[in-house]
Amino acid sequence: MKIAVCVKCVPDSSAQTRIDRETKRLDRSGEAALNPFDVNAVEEALRVREEVGETEVVVISLGPERALEPMRKALAMGADRLVLVADEAAAGSDLVATSRILAAVLERESPDLVLFGQQASDSDGAVLQAAVADRLQRPLISQVAELTREDGVVRGKRQTEYGYDVIEAPLPAVVAVSDAINEPRYPSLKGIMGAKSKPQETLSLGAIGVSLEEAGEAGSRTTVLALGEPPARGDTVKIEDDGSAPQKILEFLLEKKAI
């Protein structure tokens, strides 16, 4: 079996993220990390491999060359190899362009199962998986909190606004997992040491047959027109607990007549 896990590198959660006012894009110059939601997808792929045996886990991303570093975390966890589409012409790709590029890499890899994390922590979209599934013309199950598999069929349990659904799809399929699906493992020292020597491929758009007009801003159909300040919030108070917090909360509740 072959599993492809699509991941994104995002600004480290401890770093102050900002948007570049010139380019109107997210400033990605700071420390990068593997999108935490994608770590759940990597973990799920490794669990399927432990169950099935004889499975290759390929981690795929679109981003600048330095994204290879955070992607190696997936190798340290146990994934087999990395494929990164790194091409300056792809910068600023929106959903339409990004899904086209990822679908082109996935066509080339032809996995039995494509896994996504639920969403990116920096854009909160949760939309890429459905666009990629449509381009690949494969069945989709999103928001999966429990994944099982038998005889070429995957079964996902997921939560919606109305309760729980159970959906089945034949392989090859696209599945997006929720962060409730598993507790990701920490890479072992041996895993970290071994990660650097695993295959790590960097591809240009040309190598996957995507033209320059189909990628980046030229291939995108949305644009950022302007950036602004959010509407002013009411007064918010934030205190550090020094032992007096319970009393202060009580006083606040009394002042606001909430008790």
Partner 1 sequence: MKTLVFLEHHEGALQRDSLGVLSKAASLGGEVDAVLLGQGVEGLAAEAGKFGARHVHVMDDVLLAAPLPQPRVDALETLVRGGGFDTVLFAASVLSADVAAGLAARLDGGLNYDLTDLVVEDGELVGKRPALGDSVYVDAGWTSEPRLALVRSGTFEPSESGGSAEVVTFESRLQDFSLAAVMVEQAHEEAEGPSIEEADVIVAGGRGLGGPEGFAQVEELAKALGGAVAATRAVVDAGWYPYSAQVGQTGKTVSPKLYVAVGISGAIQHKVGMQSSALIVAINKDPNAPIFEYADFGVVGDLNEIVPKLTELVRQRRAA
**Pattern 182-211, partner 1, x by CB under 8 A:** ------------------------------
Q: Is residue 47 close enough to count as binding partner 1 by CB under 8 A?
A: no
Integer Cα distance of 102 and 15 in angstroms: 27
- DSSP labels, 21-86: TTT-SB---S-EEE-HHHHHHHHHHHHHHHHH-S-EEEEEEES-GGGHHHHHHHHHHT--EEEEE-
Q: Is residue 254 close enough to count as binding partner 1 by CB under 8 A?
A: yes
Buried b (16+ CB within 10 A) or exposed e, 92-101: bbbbebbbbb
- What residues numbered 135-154 form the site for partner 1, per CB under 8 A? 135, 137-143, 145
Could you say which of 36, 64, 66, 123 contacts partner 1 (CB under 8 A)? Answer: 123
Least distance (Å) between residue 88 CB and partner 1: 20
- What residues numbered 221-250 form the site for partner 1, per CB under 8 A? 221-231, 233-241, 243, 245-250
Could you say which of 32, 132, 147, 215 contacts partner 1 (CB under 8 A)? Answer: 132
Q: Is residue 25 close enough to count as binding partner 1 by CB under 8 A?
A: no
Tokens of residue 197, six digits: 């020597």
Query: Residue 150, Cβ neighbours under 10 Å: how many?
Result: 8
Q: Is residue 179 close enough to count as binding partner 1 by CB under 8 A?
A: yes
